[in-house]
Structure 1
Amino acid sequence: MGTRKLYLVFSKPPDRVSDDEYQRWYDVHARENIQSPGFVSARRFAITPSRGDDAPLSHLALYEYEDEQQVWRDDLDRRIGLGMIQLPEWFREITFQSWDCSALSDRIDP
């Protein structure tokens, strides 16, 4: 087994896209993403500021993957290019912020 890493994708749908539509699309999209080699899992979250601050983003997709990010990135690009993954016409209007995370320590459990 390779080294596991996290890939965090924070997002906010365009104003013209309903929350239901965004959730339906992103549920399918996350499942499409993790079919690429290297992905281990995906989980989606609604995010809310814990201190009452305004939040520019409203959703988080948390992906766990192994080894090199470039492997699954290349595969996703290939599948999109072949039309195997369909992106909605409003996809480029989504606000995204992505973070690649490498562990600095082992998991700490109680």
Structure 2
Amino acid sequence: MAVYKRGGKKGVAFVCDFVVAGQRVNQTIPGVCNLRAAKAAEARMRTEVAARINASGTLVKMSLEVAIERYVVERLMPRSKPAAVASHLIYLGMIRNYFGPSRPVSAINNAACAE
């Protein structure tokens, strides 16, 4: 199942679900309102994930820097007021400085926060 529609309390959302290099991707697609746009976004997500596969065929983990950048561009900027964006950027910068920009997002857990 690649793209499907899910309804909830906050309305309808589209979700993509696929496997690349043994890694399952199941993610809500932000900012789409019809199936055609959802399928196009799913194709972009597949190419992004495929680009992160290295020569040995394993998926390279996403770094914190890339995750923060994607969050700001895809979620924060379109939905927030400029004052809120500025304060979020301060906090995100503090998080990036604490953990380091090259740390994989999957390595951030309770033990890493307790360091």
TM-score (norm 2): 0.31
TM-score (norm 1): 0.32
Structure number with the bigger relative contact order (C-alpha 8 A, sep ≥ 6) is 1
Q: Specify which structure has the higher proportion of helix.
A: 2
